[in-house]
Amino acid sequence: MKYRVSVLQYRPEFLKKEENLKRVVAMLEPIETDLVVLPELAFTGYLFASYDEVDLVAEAPPEGLVFTTLLDLSHQKDMSILYGFPEKADGVYYNSSVLINPDGSFHVYRKVHLYNREKLWFEPGEEGFSVHIAKDGVKIGQMICFDWSFPESARSLSLKGAQILCHPSNLVLPWAQEAMKTRSLENRVFSITSNRTGTEENAGISYYFTGKSQILGKTGEILKRLTDNEEAVYTVEIDPEEANDKTISGKNNAFGDRRPSMYYQP
């Protein structure tokens, strides 16, 4: 099966949701693809310093400017779109991502492993890791940024049948892009890490985001990696069904050889 997957990298302006959305829509309009992954908190910026700032830009799908705009775009361009956003639900906030499909279906994931000051504003997700269906029945797993540091995230999604790990990110530590090669290899799945670029400052704090968004094959090979700073969308053609085969050697299978009874379970 031929399937076009895309990764978008850019530098959002803090709290300028409408302007950021316009820029991303302009980047996506010329693209022909089946699935595109955007960064974590893709339209809002990252370094919140108060609940008021989070509230200003949070959305509650199916309401919200970003959600409704991208729902239309997904339908119009016949592509699945996955992006990170601050979610408001029942009076609290989550650092979430959402997969939107051309048929109007959508699936939200709430980040399980919050990084550093995210813990000041966001509740950790309690629904865990689920596989969702993107365009053409492709099985995708959603994980957000720092989830990379817990191998159980990618493993749970892959054991549940994910063919492509979709990994919206705002990476500040230097290791994730290389670590994701191992997440892909040990689970024999494709992965798409969409990172943002640039430096953001707010309330005396400054973060540099590392770029290097990437699309990896099922043995961790780099199919496309962007530079630190470029703002662009790239598309690669893959066969997601290759991820269903977990063969390592004639006598080894990445999942069949697992020995859960040997592993420490606290």
Q: Contact with ligand ACM (CB under 6 A): which of 6, 170, 191, 214?
A: 170
Site for ligand ACM in 52-91 (CB under 6 A): none
Q: Compute the least distance from the CB of residue 102 to ligand ACM, in Å.
A: 28
Look up 40 and say whether it is catalytic: yes
Contact 42, 24 (CB under 8 A): yes
Tell me the sheet residues that pair with 238.
3
Residue 259 makes CB contacts below 8 A (sequence gap 6+) with none
Q: Contact with ligand ACM (CB under 6 A): which of 145, 154, 215, 233?
A: 145
Q: CA distances (Å), 208 to each of 11, 15, 174, 183, 204, in order?
A: 11, 17, 10, 24, 14
By CB under 6 A, is residue 40 in contact with ligand ACM? yes
Name the H helices within 131-230.
151-159, 176-187
Q: Contact with ligand ACM (CB under 6 A): which of 3, 146, 190, 234?
A: 146
Q: What SS3 state is found at 14? A: coil
Look up 111 and say whether it is catalytic: yes
Q: What are phi and psi of 84, to 5 degrees?
A: -95, 150
Q: What SS3 state is found at 261? A: helix
Burial class (CB in 10 A: 0-12, 13-18, 19+), 224: middle
Closer CB to ligand ACM, residue 40 or residue 200? 40
Q: Which stretch binds ligand ACM (CB under 6 A): 48-56, 63-71, 166-174, 198-206?
A: 166-174
Q: Compute the least distance from the CB of residue 144 to ligand ACM, in Å.
A: 7
Q: Which stretch binds ligand ACM (CB under 6 A): 1-9, 96-104, 170-178, 237-245?
A: 170-178
Q: What SS3 state is found at 165? A: strand
By CB under 6 A, is residue 115 in contact with ligand ACM? yes
Q: Contact with ligand ACM (CB under 6 A): which of 172, 179, 236, 254?
A: 172
Closer CB to ligand ACM, residue 37 or residue 73? 37
Residue 41 makes CB contacts below 8 A (sequence gap 6+) with 12, 84, 85, 86, 95, 170
DSSP collapsed to 3 states, 75-120? HHHCCEEEEEEEEEECCEEEEEEEEECCCCCEEEEECCCCCCCHHH
Q: Which stretch binds ligand ACM (CB under 6 A): 97-105, 153-161, 167-175, 247-255?
A: 167-175
62 preceded by a cis bond (ω within 30 of 0): yes
Closer CB to ligand ACM, residue 1 or residue 203? 203
Look up 145 and say whether it is catalytic: yes
Closer CB to ligand ACM, residue 123 or residue 242? 123
Residue of 40, 53, 118, 200 marked active site: 40
Residues that bind ligand ACM (CB under 6 A): 40, 115, 145-146, 170-172
Q: Please identify every residue annotated as catalytic.
A: 40, 111, 145
